[in-house]
Every structure is written in C-alpha cells, then in structure tokens.
Chain A
Amino acid sequence: MNIFKTNFFLNLLRKIDTWSKKKFLSISIFNFVIIILFLLRSAGYFEPYFLISVNFIVVVGLLLSIILLGAKSREIFIICLLFWLFAGLLRILNIETWAERTAIYTFEALIIGTIFLIKESFKKSTPR
C-alpha cells in the first residue's frame, strides 16, 4: 500500500493546500521574517548590543505562528513534541549540547502552549 495515496494522506494534502491558499500572505510574511532573522543573525547584526540567537528566532517563530498563522495550543504542543523528539534524537546520538538547547525550545513551546490552553479555556467559559 502506498501511504501517499491513502485517503487520509490525500485529505491532509487537500486541507493543507486550502489552508495555505487562504493564509498565503501570512505564510509569506512568516517565512520572510524568519529568513530575515536568520540573515541578520549570520551577519551579526545588532551585536554586541543585541544577540539574535537561535533561541530568539524560535520564540519569535512560535509567537508569529500564533499571530500570523492562527496556531492554537494544539499546534504549539505539536511543535513542542517535535522539538522534544528532536532533542531525544540528539541525546541518543550523544550530541549533548544541542540536545539540551533543543530541550529549552521544548520548554518554551510548552510555556506558550500552556498559556494558550488557559486562554482558550477562559474564552470558552466566559459567557458571550
């Protein structure tokens, strides 16, 4: 069975296609900001007054995904899970420093996810 031809996968692709068309401008801005941040980082801009670290870019990325892409707590937790799995992979490969850094991104995503979980719950419980 070719997994790429299953209904689930085709549906998913269709959904992503629709969503990306709808959010075309936001996705473009998101990508643009991330790319610019990486370019500024590689050029050493604002140093030594302000360091654009990978950590900073990750946090900005997470926040922008909420503002621009409409991510909810669920999406943030998915990113958090991905970060954690990546951290685990790095730990298994004995790349300790990077594993620890990625664990920090997991923690950051966890904070943002939990804040959104609280916010969503608050929204639902507040009568309109």
Chain B
Amino acid sequence: MIEKIKSNWLLIILVLYCLVPIVWYIGKGDVLINGLDTNFPLDPVVWFMRRLFVWNDVASGGINFSSSTAGMFFHLVQVIPFLLGVNLQFTQIISLIFWFSSLVFSAYYFSKKVFENNKVSQIVFVTIYVFNVYLFNSWENIKVANLAVVVTLPLFLGIFISYIKNEIKIHQFIFYTAIVGLVSSGSGINPAYFIVILGGIIIFGLVQNKLKILSLMVGIICIVNLFWIVPTANHFLFSHNNASSLSDIGFTNWLDSLSEHTSLLNVIRLQGAWDWYAFDDSGAPLYIPYAINYFKRFPFIAFSILLPALAIFGFLVKEEKLKKIKIYFGIILLLGLFLGSGTHAPTGVIYELLTRKLPFFSFFRSPWYIFTPYLTLSIAALISYVFLIKKNVIKYFALILIIGNLIYVYPLITGKIYRPQKPDSFFVKFPGYVFEAGNWLNSDSDGGRILSYPGDEIENFKWGYRGIESILNLLSTRETIFSGLNDSQLLSSKVIDSLYLALQRDQIQIAESIATKLNISTIFVKNDQRSLWNVSPESLENYSSEVFGEWKFYQIPKNKYLSKIYFPTRIFYGLPTEKIEKMIGSTLAKDLIVNSNDTIIAQIPDKNKVIGDITIAKNSQLEDFEAYQKNSQRQSLSFTSRDPQQVDYLFEVVNDGFYQPILESFRLDNFGIDLSKNLTVLLDGEEYRWKVKENGDITSFEDIKLSSGTHKVTVKLNNKNLLGNQNNVLGLSNREDKEKFLSFKIKPFTSAYPYLIEFDYKNIYGRRSIFIVEQKNDNTDFKFQTEGPPFSPERIRYSFYFNPVYVTNSYLDIKPLILPTNKDDSLGTKIEFSNLAVYPIFTNNMYFIKKSENQLNTPTEITFQKINPVKYKGQVLGSKGSHAIVFSENFSNDWNLKLFNLEGRQINYTPLHFSANLYANGWFIDDLIGDYEFEVFYKPQVVYNVFLTISIVTLILVWGCYLWKKYKK
C-alpha cells in the first residue's frame, strides 16, 4: 500500500487538488455559490438555450447577445448533469470540479511537456499555477472567460511542444487543438481574453520559430470559435449600430479606477484586484475580509515577495535545453507586468497611448484581470526552473514551498473567497418560493413582460442573494424589465426610468400608459428585497395577483395590456426630441411617439397630415433646479432671486392650430391648485381660464388656439413655507471650542420632489456659517448636504436646492451651524439668520398636443406568434391602406420585417423602419390593402447559424479524422 502511494504520489496529489471545490461546501448546507457576477442559473437548460440566439430577449427590451453565445460550452457542462436529474447544488459542484480538474490537468500536461521527467518541478508548477492569488477573483465570480484562459493557454502550449517534439502526429495535433479550442470558447464572453490566449500562443510560436505549426494552431482555434467570433465582429464592426466606444457594447470604461492599485510592486505579487483596496472609515476591508492579512501580516508579505524572487532566480538556472522556452516566459512575464499595470505609472502612459491610438485597444478595460494569466504562467514556470537544480536539499525546499503556498492561498482552498457568514456572502440558500414562482412563470406565460419592483440596480435580498439582473432571468424564459447596472446603453432605459418614477409616485395611470408601450403584463413586487423603495404602490392592490412567499405578481388588467406587436392609432412627433421619455406617459396606449429628426420618418408620404405634435414645455422651476444641479460652481447661483410662488412654462409651437394643454396632476393640492373646475393661467401675459376636460394622473383641458412661435404660460402657486413664518431674526454666537447649531425639523416630509431652501444672513464677526440639511428617519441617514455661505457683513438672501432620496418615511432636519472658535480668536463668531424658508419645487410637466389632420388606418386584426427570440410570425387582417406596425423590442437596424401574401409568397416591398416610442421598432407600410402575413427577424442570427454550423462540422470532421487514423492504425 505504502509502496503504491510512494510510486503514485504525484497522481494522488493531483487528484486531491481536483477535489478542492468540495471543501468549499463542507458545513455550508444546501447552498449555491451565486450572486453579482456569479450567475449560476437556477435552470441551466434555460441559460443554455438562451445562448443559441444572438438576441437576448429577456433583459429590458432585448439586447445583442453575440459575444455571450461563447458561453455555450461553459453552460453545457452545467446542463448535462442537470438533465441527468442531479440537483442544483450537485450540478454546481460537478461544474466546479470539472473546471478545477481541467486547470490541474492543464497545468500538469504543460509541466510534463516542459520539465519532462522532473516530477518536483512539475508539482511545483501545478501548485503555483493552480493555487495563486490571481485566481481568487476568478473563482469568486466563477468567471467563464478567466477560467477559459487559464485552463486552455497551457494546454495549447503543451500540444504545441508535443508536436515539436514529435510526440504526437498531425491528426492528433489538430484534434487536440480543436477540442481545447472548444473549451477556450468561454473566453469569447469578453473577446479581450480570447486575444490573450491567441497572443500567448503566437508569442510562443514566434519564439520557437515554428510559423507553420503556429498558423495551423491559430487557424483551428479560430475556426472552432467562428460561431461567436463572426457574430461578435459583425456586431462590433458592421452592425448599423456599430460600436465606437465601450459603452456601446454595454461596458463601462473603468480603466483608470481599476488601475489605481496596479503598481508593479502589486502586480508582480498578483495583488492588483481593485476590491482588495476598498476600506471603510475604520480601515477595515469593505469587500475582501482576508485582504488585510496580505497587507499587514509578515508571513503573507514575505511569501508574496518570495515567489517573484524565486521566479527571477529561475532565470539564473542554467538549463540549455530549456533556454528557448525561458525566453518565452521572460517575454510573457514582461508583457503581463506591463499590460497588467494598465494606466498605473510608470508604464501607464504607454498603455493610455495605446488605448487612444490603437483601434479596439480600449476594450482591454480591466488590464490586471485580463493580462495576469501571463504572469501566473511565467512565474509558476520560472519558479519550477529553480527545482531543476540537482541538489538533494531541493526536494525538501520544494515541499516547504508547496505547503507554504497552500497556506498562503488559504482563502482559495477553504472557500473563504466566497466570504462565508458575511452579509455579502456568495453562499446562498434560495427559498422554496423562488422555484415555485419559476414554475408558475414558465407554465403561465401570457406573452407580456414582467416589471421588477423595486427597481434598484442591484437586487439585494434579505436571504442573501445579490444580483445585477432580474432574479427571474436565472430560472425563467419570461421577458423582464428591470433597472440593470449596465443598462444605460439600452434604448429602453430612459422609458423604464420614467415608469419607475411613476410607480414610486403612485401615478398608476401614467405607469399603465408607459407599461403598455413596454409590453408589460405583470408587475413583480419583491417584498424580500432590501431597498429604500420598500413599499409597493397602493394602486397595485386593485389588480389581481399571485403570491409566492414574499413575492407578489400583479397582473395588469387585459384591457390595459398591449401585445408586443400592434398597430398604433395616432403618431406624434415628440418635441423636443431629447425629452420623449417624459411624454410617453401622457399619451394613450396606442399612441406612437417618433423623433422629428428621424430621416426615415421624413420619407413617410403626407407625413404632416398623419403625424401630430406633442410638445413638452420647459418648467421654469425644474429648469432652474436642473441648472443648479449641473453647475460645478453652484454657489454663484445661490444669490439669484427665486420665486417659488409661480411657475412659467415656456414652449415653442411649430404650426398654427388648436392644441390641447395637459398638466401632470401630481400633488397639485400641495401647491394650492384646485382643478375641480378650471385652471387660471397667464398665456403670454393675458389671463385665461382653461376648462378641465379629463382629470386623473394627468389633467387635460379643452383645446386652445396657438400661433406658431414661442409662448409662455404662467401658473400662480400657493407654495407654503414648510417652516411656517420665520420672520424673527435668529442671532447665533459661539465662543466655545465646539460647534453650535439650531435645528428645524420638517415632519411629515415628502421626498417626491426637490426643495428650495432660502434664508437671509449676516456675519457680524468671526467665522463663516455652515448650513446643514439632513434627510433621515430613526434608523437611517439618507442624505446629508452642507452649504457654506461666504462671509457677508451685509444682510443678504441665500438659496440652494436639496434633492432628497425618494423614500417613503423620512424627515428633514435643517441646521444653521456655527463652527468652534479659533484658538487665537477669543471673541468667537456671531451670525444672524432670518426669513428661513423651505419650499417644494413644482416639477409637474405641461404638454401641448396637436392632433394630426388624418388618423392612421388601422387594420382589423393582428395576430402573431413568437417562434424564438429572433423570429416572430404573424398575420394582418383587413388592412385599408397605409398603416404602421410597432414591434416593442429595443430598436436595431438589424430587425427586419418581411411581408407575404396569404399564399406565402414574399411581397416585394421594404417598409420604412424607424425608431418608435424612443426605444422600439416601427415600420410604416404604405398603401397595402387586404390581408397579409409578416415575419420579424433579427438578421445577425443567420450569421450565427452559418458559423455555428461551420464550427460544428469542423469539430466533427476533425474528430472523424482522428478516429479514422486511430482505427486504421
């Protein structure tokens, strides 16, 4: 037995290494590693199937998904055990063991090729390569792309070496390369990682001067990966919405902030992860609790220095046979250091230059995370060189180093990288109702979208899960609307924000109007989410609902729901175009708002007869507030006189005619506006009484006649000072060494709008005054704002705005404050305040609607079926002439509408394709009478289908060739 162990010690160690993921779950119970970037699907099949399409329809109106199709193999590893009936936790463990074993195998295979018969060097290489600080982050978030790089790069190099050494034949070389190429596909989720793999191989081939074999290997890898490379390149380069910056493809450019701590000293010690360096006020780590050991404890610091020292020492080891490959390690070590440092000095200048001048280099936005695999590979290899020295003592030193390294990376081995028992732990036990809700959603699809409420960008559930997308996407195929972290590039995001605002304000009619245009049928209220928006709108209680534990799904009544494809009845230009999202809630369900600058719209025949105008007026109070917020030197605006007792609406009318004024009705009574009969306004200086026509969340008035040009509507308000009468002069003096203040509390307080705070003040002597505004409740401080009016010996009025956080329960505490006395000033400070006033800002919008001369034709009926996320087929009955079709999916020029007659022959006509309701697709079909069929299709799917076929056929051919050769032999 002992003999067997002795002869197989290396294999035993490797197997033990492979089983490390099991340790992570010991004593944790029925948990999954999940949350934030770690998206482990609660239904792996749903996630796998999603990767068969280049359009992801589940996320807020849909988004191009080309690069994410690269994750197909990664999710296949999860799907197989899941389909075999294995439970979710075990599925995850199997998936993790698969990737950990692949990493161990990859490292071993490579070390065996480089260090041949030296088992000590081999095990040292495997230990350092598999267990290092860089991989903490990769495993913490189970990053597909990172794992693909670290697993496949050594494998590719190993195959390369094997072929050079004539250990494998050409057919084996091709077959192995293709298989590993498939595993490497996960790196395509962020193509920068794929380039790292190719870069590593190309440098190796050049150093070895084996250009033919290099070309063959790179060629095979690229062919196998064509299924995601071509659609992704097509999206980046040739799509009509082609990407010119990172934000265009959904990425935030955080290059500089990620490079803040990537000094060469940190990078070479593999300690460049940004989240290690975030601390709270007490100096404790904010995210990574164990990081403090690596910063403060001597053994950890010493070991972090020892590893690079050994790697540099590796250069000194004389081993003629391995000299060439040592050059390779030297080059990738330098590259890893230089590129991994990103924009950090001293090499950052060059990196920045490359980012600016080299096309697409800016896509390497997380340099340390992308390029450090070069470092781990070279450091592990160079350290292993040290153990080629033929001395007896070297074995013992290797043993100490291996044990030392395993202790050094204890968070990776023990699973502490997942922060067990911390509030932000990745070990999550999903409550049963999550799965019950998932089953219900998948069985009861009405085709409409589900709006997630509350709309925090990060979902933070009381039971531990945190996600950056809707949790429903983990287990359901239902399309969802949510406020995602990376959604700013989505065309629908502004409309979604408007919807959330309406729901927060309980303006249910406006919310319903926006919801119809977003194809929402269900509102999903998460009562178990930690949020400042903790109360769901009261009006939702009028809807029918389904309850699953803490989750409630409110069904929007059928008569208020609009299907994804529909005919609009009226079309309006939204003016000005940059505020279209604010107008959508003021229109009827089937009204369509288009951009007046849209060149496609300009091609519609008789457009001026079928398109009306919606003009949103400039609200003087809101404009002043927004100008104040945007100004970097706000204090210069604090001495401007402001009148909270009236609001002016400025607007421009393009055409003479009759316009219907509409006023948002939000809390008008707080401003003394009574709309029971009519509204008194000054229109261009003349007094009018506008008769109310309809009253609700928006109030519409009878039409008024306006001539083209600029107009001003003034509405008088009775805006009460929330502090009551404050005419007394408040004299504040302070001769003490601590601050003194007065406190004025506003209770009850509504945080639904911004506030104007004003006061007169006069500095008698001493220091400047400070003015503090706090929004809080008994448990939480929500917002804190400090104002420091300049020293003024004359009485002067000072004003500023305070924009509260939108919460249901809070109060405002306003504190004029005097600072402690300076030591050399025994007289202290004296200041007088008077006429302190706090007014809410009247933010309600006013619109003017001019109907078109002619209404649009609307066919009798439209029916359709969603075939898959990229294809919809339908039928239109009873078309009477020109009409429009709206498809409520995020706009892309790649969406194509084809028309067919009822016999199935394509009608040779290309409808005008334009952007509808700010985000959706609209088509104008000119003069088509009768019944017809249609198909909506996302064109890049064809590219994907073709190249997926090529990739699969290549794999089959290579496999077949391999088997044939083997069989023949």
Chain A positions near chain B (C-beta within 8 angstroms):
55, 73-74, 77-78, 80-81, 84-85, 87-88, 91-92, 99-100, 103-104, 106-107, 110-111, 113-114, 117-118, 121
Contact = CB atoms under 8 A, between A and B. Distances in A.
A51 to B, nearest CB: 13
Contacts of B313: 81
Contact of A111 (B298, B334, B346): B334
Given A106-B312, A121-B327, 6 more contacts: A77-B316, A80-B312, A84-B308, A107-B264, A114-B327, A118-B327
Given A92-B302, A117-B330, A106 B315 contact: no
Nearest to B344: A100
B301 A73 contact: no
B333 A117 contact: no
Contacts, number: 76
Identify which of A85, A103, A104, A118 gathers the most chain B CB atoms within 10 Å of its CB.
A103
B323 interface: yes
Counting chain B residues whose Cβ lies within 8 A of the other chain, the interface size class is 20 to 34
Contacts of B264: 100, 103-104, 106-107
Interface of B: 263-265, 268, 298, 301-302, 305, 308-309, 312-313, 315-316, 323-324, 326-327, 330-331, 333-334, 337, 346-347
A118 B313 CA distance: 17
Nearest to B263: A100
A101 to B, nearest CB: 9
10 contacts: A81-B309, A84-B312, A85-B309, A99-B265, A103-B265, A107-B347, A110-B312, A110-B333, A110-B337, A114-B333
A122 B301 CA distance: 38
Please give me the 9 A-B residue pairs with the lowest Cβ-Cβ distance, nearest first. A88-B305, A114-B330, A103-B265, A77-B315, A103-B264, A81-B312, A100-B265, A100-B263, A107-B264
Nearest to A109: B312
A87 B306 CA distance: 11
A103 B301 contact: no
A98 B347 CA distance: 17
Contacts of B337: 107, 110
Nearest to A107: B264
A106 B315 CA distance: 13
A107 B302 CA distance: 19
B263 A103 contact: yes
Given A91-B265, A100-B265, A121-B324, A113 B315 contact: yes
Contacts of B331: 114, 118
A109 to B, nearest CB: 9
B309 A91 contact: no
A93 to B, nearest CB: 10
A56 to B, nearest CB: 12
A59 to B, nearest CB: 11
B326 A117 contact: yes
Nearest to B330: A114
B331 to A, nearest CB: 6
Contact of B334 (A85, A99, A100, A110): A110
Given A77-B316, A107-B264, A92 B301 contact: yes
Contacts of B268: 84, 103, 106-107
A17 B857 CA distance: 102
Identify which of B264, B268, B327 gathers the most chain A CB atoms within 10 Å of its CB.
B264
A121 B265 contact: no
Contacts of A73: 315
Contacts of B305: 84-85, 87-88, 91-92
Contacts of A87: 265, 305
Contacts of B323: 117, 121
Identify which of B263, B312, B330, B334 gathers the most chain A CB atoms within 10 Å of its CB.
B312
A99 to B, nearest CB: 6
Contacts of A100: 263-265
B942 to A, nearest CB: 47
Contacts of A107: 264, 268, 334, 337, 347
* Interface majority SS (helix, strand, loop, mixed), chain A: helix
A4 to B, nearest CB: 23
Contacts of B326: 117
A118 B206 CA distance: 12
A91 B330 contact: no
A110 B327 CA distance: 12
Contacts of B324: 121
Contacts of A114: 327, 330-331, 333-334
Contacts of B301: 88, 91-92
A40 B658 CA distance: 83
A30 to B, nearest CB: 22
B327 A117 contact: yes
A73 B315 CA distance: 9
A19 B265 CA distance: 35
B302 A77 contact: no
Contacts of A99: 265
A118 B328 CA distance: 9
Nearest to B207: A118
A113 B330 contact: yes
A91 B312 CA distance: 18
A113 B331 CA distance: 10
A104 B346 CA distance: 8
Nearest to B268: A103
Nearest to B323: A121
A77 B263 CA distance: 21
A104 B338 CA distance: 11
B945 to A, nearest CB: 46
A64 B313 CA distance: 23
Nearest to A90: B265
Nearest to B305: A88
B379 to A, nearest CB: 12
Nearest to A55: B346
Nearest to B308: A84
Contacts of B312: 77, 80-81, 84, 106, 110
Contacts of B309: 81, 84-85, 88
B104 to A, nearest CB: 29
Contacts of B333: 110, 114
Contacts of A88: 301-302, 305, 309
A100 B268 CA distance: 11
A112 to B, nearest CB: 11
A33 to B, nearest CB: 23
A121 B320 CA distance: 10
Identify which of A77, A91, A110 gathers the most chain B CB atoms within 10 Å of its CB.
A110
A94 to B, nearest CB: 9
B724 to A, nearest CB: 56
Contacts of B302: 88, 92
A114 B309 CA distance: 16
Contacts of A121: 323-324, 327
A92 B298 contact: yes
Identify which of B298, B309, B333 gathers the most chain A CB atoms within 10 Å of its CB.
B309
A73 B298 CA distance: 32
A88 to B, nearest CB: 3
Contacts of A113: 315, 330
B315 A117 contact: yes
A102 B13 CA distance: 38
A102 B316 CA distance: 20
A83 B969 CA distance: 56
A19 to B, nearest CB: 18
A118 B331 CA distance: 9
A104 to B, nearest CB: 6
A78 B268 CA distance: 17
A81 B334 CA distance: 15
A105 B260 CA distance: 20
Given A110-B333, A110-B334, A114-B331, A78 B265 contact: no
A111 B350 CA distance: 15
Contacts of B265: 87, 91, 99-100, 103
Contacts of B346: 55, 104
